[in-house]
Amino acid sequence: MAEKSYRDAIRDAMMEEMDRDENVLIMGEDIGVYEGTFRITAGMLKKYGPKRVIDTPIAEAGMAGTAVGMAMVGLRPIVEMMTMNFSIVAADQILNHAAKVRYFSGGQVDVPLVIRGPQGAGVQLSAQHSQSFESFYGHFPGIHVVAPGTPADAKGLLKTAIRGRDPVIFLESAALYGMKGEVPDDPDFTVPFGESRVVREGSDVTIVSYSRMLQVSLTAAERLSKDEGIEVEVIDLRTLRPLDLEPAYASVSKTHRCVVVQEQWKPFGAAAEIAASISEHNFDELDAPVERVTGEDVPMPYARNLELLATPHEEQVIAGVKKVLYANG
Amino acid sequence: MPKMGDAMTEGKVVRWYKKAGDVVKKGEPVLEIETDKVNLDLEAEQDGTIGQVEVQEGQMVPVGGRLAMISAPGEKIEKSEKPEKSEKPAEPAPTQRRALDKKDSIKHSTGEYGEAMEMKGPRIDRSAPPAAPLRVVEGGKKRSSPLARKMAQEMGVSLDAVQGSGPQGRIIARDIKGAPARSLPATAQKLETKEIPLSAMRRTIAKRLAESTGPIPHFYLTADYDVTNLLLLRAQLNEIENTKFSVNDFVIRAAALALRHHPNVNASWGDEAITQHGEIHIGVAVSTPEGLITPVVRNADQKSVMEIATDVRTLADKAKNRKLRPEEYQGSTFTISNLGAWGIEEFTAIINPPNVAILAIGAAASRAVVIDKQVVIRDRMKITMSCDHRVVDGAAGAEYLKTLRQYLEQPIRLIV
């Protein structure tokens, strides 16, 4: 184990897989000479050369479509979106082609493709560059949606994505790039898709979360334990599609109260899907409606103070926990 | 006369609230009508004055027929024949539209989409009258969380008796935890000793049944109880108390508490009257080397399971050492015989006179049972009640066994 940043964990995952399999390559805007807007690809052009680290024009649909074709004939392309917000330009390639090729080919053709990049708020990139896409992509069958909340998961899940047979939307939290954590050195360390985990055990309330909101939830849980004696069980979903809610169901059977925390907007968000599933599955176990803690329903402001107000923080999570405990007075 | 449902062709005027010349306000009830399904009030659709009332109370009126006229304020009251406005048929249109809908759907279903829909499942018959909309009555049913409802059911707590502490008075789990167990159905009357003179019918029943089967005409009722919770409770109590409880200790208490609701079972037969006893004394069959004897747990309904367990232990020891005094084995009002320890699944016991009933308790054992269409393993126990038909009829015995079920299957009631 070594302490690594989320950013370095992602780079390590890609370089280990490029060492392991010469069919793995990466393409994107400013990833080669400039070494990436978020410096994820630092040093990669030098090591692997321009055939495997490809600087593209500013043409997301073009690079996504090219990558779908590469994947169909046996390569394992990784496409870096400068931010996932730009992937909207490539939505047709991703949703109508990458997600459908196996189906349309009667199972004959796989698309082993990873589309990765940062998303979410917290780094003052304003309304067009701070959005979250898990419910957007999670809606469609045919693609996996991954949202790691720790450096180790970022590495393990990305390696699973690169080695797999399917198109994967790999959502990195821009605000977590600098976060450090223990990351296994084993080059064959991977984290399977569809295995949620209990990150913190507790008996009073279940929090279900993922990505950056996992860290916010854990901080809130520590504060609730220390200040109020409330023990929160925190579950990290890790992948939104496939979505493994079994640990959440088991936890809610124990705590009878549930808060789902997401950064994205409340309407039609991932938390809505999760809360509905828990209500369906745990109806007789619930002592309060499943609470959603989400971002404010506005375009993300650029101003630092407004951005802070528009994204969920520990205070909102704590208030949500107290609400389902009927402890708000 | 408005059309209140697709099948309605006419309606009856039940009573008039207003008479000719009365001033009415919009929304005020004018008359009550009766259809083949419901009675309901018809309200004025506008302010005005009741003009001519054309239909008498009790009269049938075809749908669309005129009931009365309401004149607008200031309008002259006429006895004209022109159709009145306020009581025109209420929305016949939806009925027609539904019929058209159906035709439309048939038309549209000629395509492939329609065929796919046909394959998917039966089409809903939209020509059927729509169900009456649900009405939520403010302040009716109390709000409660699903968990609270589940706990209340398991613990035998009535939600009516609980004050909710959640938003809008929602009853939540913590409200249930402190709530008292539901008081059992009304029959928990005060017990008193009384003689009920034999009626002619009762004499005849007694005579005929006695002639048929001997001095005491027995019949037998067997019920199968789910004692999973009872065995769990016993295991828990055995962990925390010094006394070791037997299943029978719980059965004695359950039987005694159930008798409080059925004084007709806690009784004796006499040639002139049936005596219902004012106290509940449970005879417990104990096997000794010399034979069977039934020492008595007195006022068993007023004793805790712990007290019953202590009594039974003491009495059984005395019985085995032949030290029971007559007052310790006489005067029972009801008897329990338990052969569960011998592995007997079910049996019938002979009534212990002057009792009129006895319970034969079988062994509690795990069995596969079907709950919610799933085969699950539950602990079950069979109890057969022998009844003296001169006093206890079949339904009366069955009622007793039903009450007993509430205690045995929700054993929390035995300790609270």
Residue-wise pLDDT tens digits, A106-122? 999 999 999 999 999 98
H or E, element range at A94: none
* pLDDT reported for residue B211: 67
Q: How much is the mean pLDDT over chain A? A: 96
Which amino acids of A are annotated catalytic?
Answer: 60, 129
Strands (E), B87-232: 194-197, 218-226
Please name which of A223, A242, A202 lies closest in space to residue A318, comparing C-alpha atoms.
Answer: A223
Are B165 and A256 inside 8 Å of each other by CB? no
- What CATH number is given for B194-415 in this structure? 3.30.559.10
B372 touches chain A (CB under 8 A): no
A284 contacts in chain B (CB < 8 Å): 146-147, 149-150
* pLDDT reported for residue A50: 97
| pLDDT tens figures, B250-278 | 999 999 999 999 999 999 998 889 999 99
The three-state secondary structure class of B289 is coil
* pLDDT reported for residue B183: 47
| Residue A205 shares a structural domain with residue A141 | no
* pLDDT reported for residue B98: 37
Peptide bond into B354 cis (omega under 30): yes
Angle (deg, nearest 10), helices B228-240 and B247-261 = 120
Residues facing residue A266 across a β-bridge = none
pLDDT at B28 over 80: yes
* pLDDT reported for residue B350: 87
| Residue A26 shares a structural domain with residue A130 | yes
Please name which of A246, A24, A234, A73 lies closest in space to residue A150, comparing C-alpha atoms.
Answer: A234
| Residue A206 shares a structural domain with residue A112 | no
pLDDT-derived band at B85 (thresholds 50, 70, 90) equals very low
* pLDDT reported for residue B95: 38
Q: How much is the mean pLDDT over chain B? A: 80
B55 touches chain A (CB under 8 A): no
pLDDT-derived band at B180 (thresholds 50, 70, 90) equals low
The three-state secondary structure class of A261 is strand
Peptide bond into A242 cis (omega under 30): yes
Q: Which chain B residue's Cα is nearest to A256?
A: B147
* pLDDT reported for residue B73: 75
Structure tokens at B25: 């306000």
Are A287 and B148 inside 8 Å of each other by CB? yes
pLDDT at A171 over 70: yes
| Residue A27 shares a structural domain with residue A114 | yes
The answer to whether the CB of A255 falls within 8 A of the CB of A206 is yes
| Residue A224 shares a structural domain with residue A81 | no
| Residue A164 shares a structural domain with residue A269 | no
- Amino acid at residue number B412: I
The three-state secondary structure class of A108 is coil
A283 contacts in chain B (CB < 8 Å): 146
Phi, psi of B405 (to 5 degrees): -60, -40
* pLDDT reported for residue B53: 82
The answer to whether the CB of A113 falls within 8 A of the CB of A71 is yes
pLDDT-derived band at B104 (thresholds 50, 70, 90) equals very low
pLDDT-derived band at B88 (thresholds 50, 70, 90) equals very low
End-to-end CA distance of chain B: 59
The C-alpha atoms of residue B12 and residue B58 are separated, in whole angstroms, by 6
- Judging by DSSP bridges, how do beta strands B374-388 and B357-361 pair with one another? antiparallel
Structure tokens at B179: 């709530």
* pLDDT reported for residue A24: 98
Q: Which of residues 158-187 of B touch A (CB under 8 A)?
A: 165-167, 172-174
| pLDDT tens figures, B368-389 | 999 888 899 999 999 999 999 9
* pLDDT reported for residue B127: 58
DSSP letters for A17-85: HHHH-TTEEEEETT-SSS--TTSTTTTHHHHH-TTTEEE--S-HHHHHHHHHHHHHTT-EEEEE-SSGG
pLDDT at B157 over 70: yes
Establish if A189 belongs to a structural domain.
no
Reported as half-sphere exposure (CB side, CA atoms, 13 A), residue B48 has a value of 21
The answer to whether the CB of B319 falls within 8 A of the CB of B286 is yes
* pLDDT reported for residue B80: 46
B153 touches chain A (CB under 8 A): no
- DSSP letter (8 states) at residue B376: E
Residue A131 sits in a domain of what CATH number?
Answer: 3.40.50.970
* pLDDT reported for residue A139: 97
**pTM for this model (two decimals):** 0.56
pLDDT at B333 over 60: yes
* pLDDT reported for residue B363: 94
The C-alpha atoms of residue A308 and residue A316 are separated, in whole angstroms, by 12
* pLDDT reported for residue B240: 78
Count structural domains, chain A. Answer: 2
* pLDDT reported for residue B300: 94
| Residue A28 shares a structural domain with residue A172 | yes
End-to-end CA distance of chain A: 45
Residues 6 or more apart in contact with residue A25 via CB below 8 angstroms: A18, A48, A51, A52, A53, A54, A70, A75, A76, A77, A78
| pLDDT tens figures, B5-23 | 777 788 888 888 888 888 8
Boundary-marking domain end, from A183, A206, A227: A183
B169 contacts in chain A (CB < 8 Å): none
Reported as half-sphere exposure (CB side, CA atoms, 13 A), residue A201 has a value of 0
The C-alpha atoms of residue B175 and residue B142 are separated, in whole angstroms, by 13
Please state the rounded mean pLDDT for residues B357-370: 93
Percent of chain A with pLDDT strictly greater than 90? 97
Q: Which CATH architecture has domain B146-177?
A: Irregular (4.10)
Neighbours of B142 (CB within 10 A): 15
| Residue ranges covered by each domain of chain B | 10-71, 146-177, 194-415
pLDDT-derived band at B236 (thresholds 50, 70, 90) equals confident
Instruction: Among A40-54, A59-73, A183-197, B55-69, name the one with the lowest average pLDDT.
Output: B55-69
Structure tokens at B340: 């569960």
pLDDT-derived band at A1 (thresholds 50, 70, 90) equals confident
Are B147 and A326 inside 8 Å of each other by CB? no
pLDDT-derived band at B94 (thresholds 50, 70, 90) equals very low
| Residue A155 shares a structural domain with residue A204 | no
B145 touches chain A (CB under 8 A): yes
Are A286 and B167 inside 8 Å of each other by CB? no
Q: Which residue has the tokens 């407004």?
A: A306
Neighbours of B85 (CB within 10 A): 13
* pLDDT reported for residue B374: 87
| Residue A179 shares a structural domain with residue A223 | no
Q: Looking at CA atoms only, how far is residue B113 from chain A in angstroms?
A: 21
* pLDDT reported for residue B83: 46
| pLDDT tens figures, A231-266 | 999 999 999 999 999 999 999 999 999 999 999 999
The two counts, helices (H) then strands (E), for chain B are: 11, 19
Boundary-marking domain end, from A156, A183, A210: A183
Instruction: Among B73-77, B180-184, B327-331, name the one with the lowest average pLDDT.
Output: B180-184
pLDDT-derived band at B107 (thresholds 50, 70, 90) equals very low
Boundary-marking domain end, from A158, A183, A208: A183
Please state the rounded mean pLDDT for residues B160-187: 75
Are B173 and A256 inside 8 Å of each other by CB? yes
B167 contacts in chain A (CB < 8 Å): 326
Q: Which chain A residue's Cα is nearest to B148?
A: A287
Structure tokens at A67: 């990558």
Structure tokens at B68: 């009365």
Residue A236 sits in a domain of what CATH number?
Answer: 3.40.50.920
Question: Containing domain of residue A296, as a range?
Answer: 197-324
Please state the rounded mean pLDDT for residues A29-58: 97
Establish if A190 belongs to a structural domain.
no
Best A206, A286, A287 member to test B by mutation, with max B CBs in 10 Å, is A287
pLDDT-derived band at B125 (thresholds 50, 70, 90) equals low
The C-alpha atoms of residue B71 and residue B75 are separated, in whole angstroms, by 6
- Amino acid at residue number A11: R
Please name which of A204, A200, A230, A196 lies closest in space to residue A215, comparing C-alpha atoms.
Answer: A200
The C-alpha atoms of residue B43 and residue B45 are separated, in whole angstroms, by 6
Reported as half-sphere exposure (CB side, CA atoms, 13 A), residue A174 has a value of 23
Please state the rounded mean pLDDT for residues B345-370: 92
The C-alpha atoms of residue B338 and residue B349 are separated, in whole angstroms, by 10
| Residue A248 shares a structural domain with residue A150 | no
Please state the rounded mean pLDDT for residues B51-79: 79
Reported as half-sphere exposure (CB side, CA atoms, 13 A), residue B258 has a value of 26
Please name which of B361, B359, B355, B358 lies closest in space to residue B391, comparing C-alpha atoms.
Answer: B355
pLDDT at B248 over 60: yes
The answer to whether the CB of B384 falls within 8 A of the CB of B347 is yes
Q: Looking at CA atoms only, how far is residue A249 from chain B in angstroms?
A: 14
Q: Which residue has the tokens 């009550």?
A: B32
| Max mean pLDDT range (A176-180, B231-235, B314-318) | A176-180
Are A284 and B148 inside 8 Å of each other by CB? no
pLDDT-derived band at A90 (thresholds 50, 70, 90) equals very high
Instruction: Among A11-20, A154-163, B78-87, name the one with the lowest average pLDDT.
Output: B78-87
Establish if A142 belongs to a structural domain.
yes
Establish if A188 belongs to a structural domain.
no
DSSP letters for B107-121: HHTTSHHHHHHHHHS
The three-state secondary structure class of B381 is strand
* pLDDT reported for residue B76: 63
Please name which of A215, A209, A287, A277 lies closest in space to residue A249, comparing C-alpha atoms.
Answer: A277
- Judging by DSSP bridges, how do beta strands A205-209 and A232-236 pair with one another? parallel
Residues 6 or more apart in contact with residue B290 via CB below 8 angstroms: B322
Q: Which residue has the tokens 């199972």?
A: A107
Are B147 and A285 inside 8 Å of each other by CB? yes
Q: Which fold has domain B10-71?
A: OB fold (Dihydrolipoamide Acetyltransferase, E2P) (2.40.50)
A285 contacts in chain B (CB < 8 Å): 146-147, 150
